[in-house]
Amino acid sequence: MSKIRVLIADDHTLVREGIAAFLKLSDDIEVVAEASDGLEAIEKVKKFTPDVVLMDIAMPKLGGLEATVEIKKMNPDTKILVLTQYDDKEYISRFLKAGVSGYLLKKAVGSELVSAIRAVNKNEFYLFSSIASKVVEGYLGKDKEAAMEDPYEKLTDREKQVLKLVAEGYTHKEIGDMLSISTKTVIAHQTNMTEKLGISTRAGLIKFAIQRGIIKID
């Protein structure tokens, strides 16, 4: 029987190493690669084609959400299992819309992580118990109106990527290099983004990104 090929994306080396060491105890799971940010996760998925990606949320450069969107476009069959400390409704909703197969909190015991990996690999959906009620509440429509009014949802996937990187302080050239697009294209995306959000300054974009949980200030 072939093993479940897993990629671990987390910006903390000790966390990645700890998860990898634990997963190696399972006979049916193989850690094929690790990534320290969203851009690296995308490149490692291209190179190693894992079955399951364990995706952290708050990472430098492209975060977990932006990386998830790109990976699902590139390889829809790759299962994304969010593994994070954040249980914010906005995060949960955005990742579900992006097509993840599960959402697990880092406080989960090791055996639950293994169960979650096995479940999503079998095309099952896996939710950590404490956030299940939040998901149910959202799908019952209590958050539907708020979601429709959220200006963030007006942005394209690329504009969302540019927003995160601009809010983190990268220059237009640096963003272009990271996303493999021209500086002129980055500026165009930022212009469209600011018009949709009604925000004209970098400070305003940073404030918006913090309020929406797009970037985290620890």
Superfamily (CATH H level) for 4-139: Response regulator (3.40.50.2300)
Residue 137 has pLDDT above 60, yes or no: no
Q: Averaged over 74-95, what is the pLDDT?
A: 88
Contact at 8 Å (CB) between 160 and 192?
Answer: no
Q: Contact, 135 vs 166, CB < 8 A?
A: no
Break the chain into its structural domains and give their ranges.
4-139, 150-211
Beta bridge partners of 172: none
- CATH fold, domain 150-211, is Arc Repressor Mutant, subunit A (1.10.10)
In one-letter notation, the amino acid at residue 97 is: K
Nearest Cα neighbor of 9 from 36, 31, 32 is 36
Return d(Cα 143, Cα 77) in angstroms, integer.
Answer: 29
pLDDT digits (tens, 9 = 90+) for 155-182: 998 999 999 999 888 999 999 999 999 9
